[in-house]
Structure 1
């Protein structure tokens, strides 16, 4: 049977998004707020898995219809936010930062921003605070999963229908153990890449299979209510007790993931439903996607503009602004594109293509012109030139993850290979600032 709408799922979305906002805002007490994304992964797997499985059982599944529904749900507001961010980036960002932003925007449209961000810096690096599109990595993970999951489930359903649960469980365990192994040796790759994140979404798919197998006469027991409460405690505890020092996604990821699964399975009655069905939480859950899209750009651009740590008062104002933006985009973009019968399929697709072209076109223009330095007056350009003269290596040797970044002036490679040297300076922009002086001093 199809998955019915459940208010508590929207409440669970609210429970996930609020700690993410507080974590990115740097509010003390939410050291594990970033695991709200893991809660979203399980919810997405549950909803998408339920839709696919129901369609397969009724022999009504269509790849074209599935992907159109996903595009209609995600892309209109996502592209709108990217367009607004591109305008803000043009006004606020320095040429080098604008080029980096442009690569990220283009990668976001191509469902690969997780890879682009991995090549630049770690999710928990201090420089990440200034990346307006840092949060798009998780959207790319979900979009990549949406591309592969239907194909996987359809093939298994056709070949070994009776073994569907067992085979999906095997895929889940394989991805989970790969994540544990990779989180120790390749922590950044494990954090950003789909193979080590897929198990979280597959847990949601398994939950959908389990939930759909329950009959209408199913009776809810006190023991299952206890499991629902335990799941809620696991999720909330993860927000408060986990931190960036824990290997992620590793064993610790089980706490928010299994907690979310338990809430979905056993939170449809009793105290958990009463809590998560609260009107305010449901409302926040409804606008959570727009809220997630807006929060990081607002924080990053504000930090870039101020160049100082944002005060609590500023953060409260910015969070309020994020809620206003989220409500407006949910009301005037998300809902109309998702539900309006006045918008034809052709109109929706044309709008999505136009939005994608605008974002990609702006990105390539910024990259081609090396950040559009013409935006600045002659005096500013002279200062930039003087800074480059102080350290001539600056334009050449900004690298990330051991490979040249997307936008250096050719020549960085010669400093990394084929040269003999006694001292290698590695680090952030501060290390780069002293590298030339150190080279001059050591050569004397």
Structure 2
């Protein structure tokens, strides 16, 4: 293949092995691993993926330019190398994760897992997870293959980059760098726009990551001459500081990738330039860093399924204490096995470049065909629900049907904040976050048809109560930009609501945080001042609801036997007891009635917590939100307690029952 050598000769950097790049891989992979193990001191560990993208852009561009210059570039050989490099280890992890997931994941989770596996096999998992939700959403930590999004981005990059180098790189020495620069700027602009208006797309989609690959590619195209050691030390130090700052200063609330990704990406580029520095470079070139860098791909592949499957098996909602170390050890046991047993064997094994090796590679890659068929079947057959007891599946199935009913129910006109109250003796307004929905359901389902009581709901997260304080601008510490916007919208809706001037009692039901406690008094004062002057509303504070491991998942695992209530109680988050006690004391100081929800959900000693009702229907939809059956039952219990009934409705239990008898 004859090429214009003048067009590429100036672009070709040194092709010798650079151990410092393996050291940089170590920084990248350990950042991601420690972040996913939930070490609080590295809140920006997710930027390790961006460092990987820079490394990939640099190495792939350097390789492609070398092949084009030598006149032996071949799309076939390039993609065979990529398949040999990435395919076998990925398939092994997908296969192993599928086997474990089939034993422990609930039908709903297993169905979504099967869809993600199929998408991973076709280099489209980033599209799959973008369509589902965001990287930092509440359920992300329960998706065993979430980490494959970055592999799909990289594989999609490989689909376009070789053609770009091959077609553009032959024209003149400056065309390719200019094209790479323009594509990178366009990609960065797209990332800025989409991170603001469609964050999930900006995070997951390949076009908005091209500028990260482009930084590495531009470095390869510069073909820098050897620098004096003083400059190499400076560049290495500056690059490490930029990456380190990103790891320590960024967190889940940082708009990303946005312009913020430039910091770790430029840092990675500087480390590549100066990584062979005599002194600081040893941090990257030492045997331990190089070894971890060599196994980094295998370590990246195995680390996340280990964390997620641990949570599914144990129902843990976080990785804490010694568990982190145990999981880290397990990762470093699995990764070398993967590297030496599979990755290195197919990539560097004896005869890997011979024709027979390709046949063996394709034989190994036949495994995805089986995995694809199994995944399609599991996805189509409701996550293989036959793995669980029929009675349990029936109960969970009813719960899933009721979930749609619940969404429709809470969106009906009875919960709409801009409607006036019915002409009733007692007008009750429930305020709070999603847990106020539970209390609205609990009251509405038990007083429905009673013309003496009218119930409405108004959304207001407890973290937004700072807006009702005397100096609200001084109390926004810790809130993200999106939380500030949401609080502003909720605050405006509260001020605009006509219900506050009509209401008789206001029930505050939310997932309280102790940082919100100081704002309860000014908020209560606001509610009283906004009410009827002759009879200000009674403000009732409700404690946080009982929280557990995922209740439907627990029921699927252990069944509907007589021990379900005790086993549910064993997973209860007991540290909320102290928070509720502090909240109760705060309410007493402010002379506000307080209702302890937990006492109506669990026995007095909390040794039993109801998971199902008398018909065997599940009372919770997740860790603590109530199903419609749960809301009906728990509301019934509250209203059966005359003192609580008076606080919530203004009527005693006997008065409420008199309505029931009359009806």
TM-score by length of 2: 0.59
Q: Is 1:258 paired with 2:271?
A: no
Residues in 1 aligned to 2:165 and 2:440: alpha-carbon distance in whole angstroms? 53
1:220 is matched with 228
The offset of 1:314, in angstroms, is 1.3
TM-score by length of 1: 0.87
1:276 is matched with 284
Residues 229 and 271 in structure 1, CA contact (< 8 A), matched pair in contact too = no
Residues 391 and 433 in structure 1, CA contact (< 8 A), matched pair in contact too = no
Structure 1 unaligned regions, length at least 5: 398-414
Q: Measured at CA, do residues 388 and 41 of structure 1 come closer, stay the same or move farther in structure 2, by a change above 3 Å? A: closer
Mapping of residues 357-436 of structure 1, within 5 Å: 357-388=369-400, 391=403, 393=405
Residues in 2 aligned to 1:34 and 1:109: alpha-carbon distance in whole angstroms? 23
2:249 is matched with 241
Residues in 1 aligned to 2:383 and 2:18: alpha-carbon distance in whole angstroms? 47
Mapping of residues 318-329 of structure 1, within 5 Å: 318-329=327-338
Residues in 2 aligned to 1:100 and 1:41: alpha-carbon distance in whole angstroms? 27
The offset of 1:173, in angstroms, is 1.3
1:13 is matched with 25
Q: Is 1:302 paired with 2:315?
A: no
The C-alpha deviation readout for 1:107-135, integer Å capped at 9, x for no partner, is 00111100101111211112111110010
1:64 is matched with 76
The C-alpha deviation readout for 1:135-169, integer Å capped at 9, x for no partner, is 01100000000111111121211344432112211
Residues in 2 aligned to 1:384 and 1:244: alpha-carbon distance in whole angstroms? 33
Q: What is the aligned length?
A: 416
2:545 is matched with none
Q: Measured at CA, do residues 258 and 373 of structure 1 come closer, stay the same or move farther in structure 2, by a change above 3 Å? A: same
Residues 229 and 278 in structure 2, CA contact (< 8 A), matched pair in contact too = no
The offset of 1:270, in angstroms, is 2.2
Residues 58 and 217 in structure 2, CA contact (< 8 A), matched pair in contact too = yes
1:315 is matched with 324
Residues in 1 aligned to 2:380 and 2:235: alpha-carbon distance in whole angstroms? 56
Partner SS, residue 3 of structure 1: coil
Aligned match of 2:345 in 313, 317, 336? 336
Mapping of residues 48-127 of structure 1, within 5 Å: 48-127=60-139
1:412 is matched with none
The C-alpha deviation readout for 1:200-250, integer Å capped at 9, x for no partner, is 01111111112x353xxx342413421221011111121111111111111
Query: Larger C-alpha radius of gyration, 1 or 2?
Result: 2
Q: Measured at CA, do residues 363 and 429 of structure 1 come closer, stay the same or move farther in structure 2, by a change above 3 Å? A: farther
Mean Cα deviation higher: 178-187 or 326-335: 178-187
Residues in 2 aligned to 1:141 and 1:38: alpha-carbon distance in whole angstroms? 11
1:138 is matched with 150
The offset of 1:328, in angstroms, is 0.2
Residues 93 and 301 in structure 2, CA contact (< 8 A), matched pair in contact too = yes
The offset of 1:185, in angstroms, is 1.2
Q: Measured at CA, do residues 3 and 422 of structure 1 come closer, stay the same or move farther in structure 2, by a change above 3 Å? A: farther
Residues in 2 aligned to 1:364 and 1:383: alpha-carbon distance in whole angstroms? 25
Residues 73 and 338 in structure 1, CA contact (< 8 A), matched pair in contact too = yes
The C-alpha deviation readout for 1:281-320, integer Å capped at 9, x for no partner, is 1111111101100111000011111112333111211111
Residues 231 and 274 in structure 2, CA contact (< 8 A), matched pair in contact too = no
2:430 is matched with none
Structure with the largest fraction of helix: 1
Residues 229 and 267 in structure 1, CA contact (< 8 A), matched pair in contact too = no
Partner SS, residue 231 of structure 1: helix
Structure 2 unaligned regions, length at least 5: 1-11, 418-432, 450-663
Residues 54 and 216 in structure 2, CA contact (< 8 A), matched pair in contact too = yes
Aligned match of 2:215 in 203, 209, 229? 203
Residues 13 and 40 in structure 1, CA contact (< 8 A), matched pair in contact too = yes
1:410 is matched with none
Partner SS, residue 256 of structure 2: coil
Residues 274 and 281 in structure 2, CA contact (< 8 A), matched pair in contact too = no
1:286 is matched with 294
Q: Measured at CA, do residues 101 and 47 of structure 1 come closer, stay the same or move farther in structure 2, by a change above 3 Å? A: same
2:358 is matched with 345
The C-alpha deviation readout for 1:340-370, integer Å capped at 9, x for no partner, is 2345111112211x12112211111101211
Q: Measured at CA, do residues 310 and 342 of structure 1 come closer, stay the same or move farther in structure 2, by a change above 3 Å? A: same
The C-alpha deviation readout for 1:63-89, integer Å capped at 9, x for no partner, is 000000000000000001001111111
Residues in 1 aligned to 2:434 and 2:369: alpha-carbon distance in whole angstroms? 33
Higher relative contact order (CA 8 A, sep 6+): 1
Residues in 2 aligned to 1:430 and 1:296: alpha-carbon distance in whole angstroms? 31
Residues in 2 aligned to 1:436 and 1:331: alpha-carbon distance in whole angstroms? 57
Residues 32 and 244 in structure 1, CA contact (< 8 A), matched pair in contact too = yes
Residues 61 and 217 in structure 2, CA contact (< 8 A), matched pair in contact too = yes
Residues in 2 aligned to 1:253 and 1:442: alpha-carbon distance in whole angstroms? 54
Partner SS, residue 170 of structure 2: helix
Residues 175 and 195 in structure 1, CA contact (< 8 A), matched pair in contact too = yes
Q: Measured at CA, do residues 144 and 342 of structure 1 come closer, stay the same or move farther in structure 2, by a change above 3 Å? A: same
Q: Measured at CA, do residues 205 and 384 of structure 1 come closer, stay the same or move farther in structure 2, by a change above 3 Å? A: same
Residues in 1 aligned to 2:45 and 2:311: alpha-carbon distance in whole angstroms? 20
